[in-house]
A and B are shown apart, each in its own frame.
Chain A
């Protein structure tokens, strides 16, 4: 039951989201116009995306994101312990991040982050 506070946060979030959805139905006046009935698409034609395809470049970025994400996951326990690990822990993380920074530097200089 240590996670009861978390559960309460989730419940509260669900409550707020539900309220935002349903309260207007009760309280707000409804005047439907054709423009309002369209899905909101930042001024773009809403049908466009289902016809065309997403650029494959997004996937490259997503893969790099996964790799950096996994790296981040290891930093978390280190951050909780780093005072107790002392300089040795600092060196450990320096090596870990140094190797990954080499990869980052390589991707960057090779133009892997360019949008072409």
Chain B
């Protein structure tokens, strides 16, 4: 008999936050087939409990710097920071979903379990120390989101969103995989550190550069940067609003997490190359996003283009590089996540004539009938513009500052001009809410405990981040430190 194959060390502690989320998904699946058969409202509670459990695990593990499964999974402050952002987004979205789906009685075990699966995928993307894990985690996240986008089966737009997202997403994933294969071919490894070591001598090789470009296409699709953004407006519009919020925040944060780690750790030697590529992508993304957003009358499409523009700003931080650049991106993602989840969540609460209120004109006169909700929504839009003292302002301040200090004056000028353009379409929504009267039936708001609590948390998030940003900015800087060793 041949010798025993030595088993690898199993360190489940490194996986704890992810395992809690996956366990919650399993519990949701089991409870779904047990009675009561007609009411699934309790499953949202289980999902929420799982995510809160994961948040506790993250806080417990804070400050560790561990790796396990032969360097496949890393649990450093960088991963934990992103886990925190993703879990906050997921928790708020579960709360909005409980209320949004509960109103139409469409809550189901599949919905919450897939939401948890995609959350686990996102968290693993932030923890991945190997390109194989990056790909598998990305697929776990995406597969669940493709299905969730088509959750409202009786709606054609939802099916279209799901189909479009799936086909284009699969196409983008294959680009990513091709890139991974080329990088493996050039360096002989899929491990990020070993790629960095092997690539140090072979940077100018076309195989590495083409692999890098292919991977950027894959990531560029997931963060919806121009020119890989075409899917975003249609998918954001057609998907259930709660799912849209998750695609806009969680999946973007996760894709940024993996992309920054791959670029800064594995491909640090090719920094001049990817930096130049990203410069062009950033300028293009913010400009196209903002200009096209000007013409939108559907609020979900408007927010889709707005989120594209924000990706453009965030790419600036990567261009700036060093410590402050990625750190500013991490802070920006935190602020952006709270704001965007809140804005989509507030939209999910509104309905007009039995339909979801998604047109900008639906919101005419909202301020007189529902002053609190209108003020909340206005706060989110002001934060997206970047008005002090809200989170969006501080985030932009750090990001633009990092770009200027790194010497990218022109890119910053483009970004500032873009911010001015963006103010127009955000303010237009606020004008509708405060200064117009509805043509017909006014918008109705379904008040609920879970949705209200989630909105309160989101508003608290952007105000706290805006008023005392320093501790959180420090946190973001601490988080990027493990990448720069």
Contact = CB atoms under 8 A, between A and B. Distances in A.
B4 A102 contact: no
A85 interface: yes
B1 A84 contact: yes
Contact of B29 (A84, A85, A106): A106
A102 B7 contact: no
B5 interface: yes
A68 to B, nearest CB: 17
B29 A88 contact: no
B26 A102 contact: yes
Contacts of B4: 84-86
Q: Is the interface of A mostly helix, strand, loop or mixed?
A: helix
B29 A102 contact: yes
B136 to A, nearest CB: 13
B7 A88 contact: yes
A53 interface: no
B2 A106 contact: no
A36 interface: no
Q: Is the interface of B mostly helix, strand, loop or mixed?
A: loop
Contacts of A86: 4-5, 7
Nearest to A99: B26
Interface in B1-40: 1-5, 7, 26, 29-30, 32-33
A81 interface: yes
B52 to A, nearest CB: 23
A85 B3 CA distance: 9
A110 B33 CA distance: 7
20 contacts: A83-B1, A84-B1, A84-B3, A84-B4, A85-B4, A85-B5, A85-B7, A86-B5, A88-B7, A89-B5, A102-B29, A102-B30, A103-B29, A105-B33, A106-B29, A106-B30, A106-B33, A109-B33, A110-B32, A110-B33
Interface in A90-116: 102-103, 105-106, 109-110
A106 B5 contact: no
A46 to B, nearest CB: 35
B143 to A, nearest CB: 12
- Tier of interface size on chain B: 10 to 19
B428 to A, nearest CB: 45
Contacts of B30: 102, 106
Interface string A14-55: 000000000000000000000000000000000000000000
Interface of B: 1-5, 7, 26, 29-30, 32-33
A89 B10 CA distance: 12
Given A88-B7, A103-B29, 14 more contacts: A81-B5, A84-B1, A84-B2, A84-B3, A84-B5, A85-B4, A86-B5, A86-B7, A89-B7, A102-B29, A102-B30, A105-B33, A106-B30, A110-B33
Contacts of B29: 102-103, 106
B1 A106 contact: no
Q: Which of B1, B7, B32 has the most CB of A within 10 A?
A: B7
Nearest to B29: A106
A15 to B, nearest CB: 39
Nearest to B2: A84
Nearest to B113: A106
Nearest 5 pairs between A and B by C-beta?
A109-B33, A88-B7, A106-B29, A84-B5, A85-B5
A5 to B, nearest CB: 24
A106 B32 CA distance: 8
A71 B430 CA distance: 53
Contacts of B33: 105-106, 109-110
Contacts of A106: 29-30, 32-33
Contacts of A85: 4-5, 7
Contacts of B7: 85-86, 88-89
A85 B2 CA distance: 10
B15 to A, nearest CB: 12
A90 to B, nearest CB: 11
A30 B7 CA distance: 67
A81 to B, nearest CB: 7
B11 to A, nearest CB: 14
A83 B1 CA distance: 9
A93 to B, nearest CB: 13
Contacts of A83: 1
A89 B7 CA distance: 8
Contacts of A81: 5
A105 B2 CA distance: 37
Contacts of A88: 7
A114 B262 CA distance: 45
Contacts of B2: 84
A102 B33 CA distance: 11
B40 to A, nearest CB: 12
A59 to B, nearest CB: 15
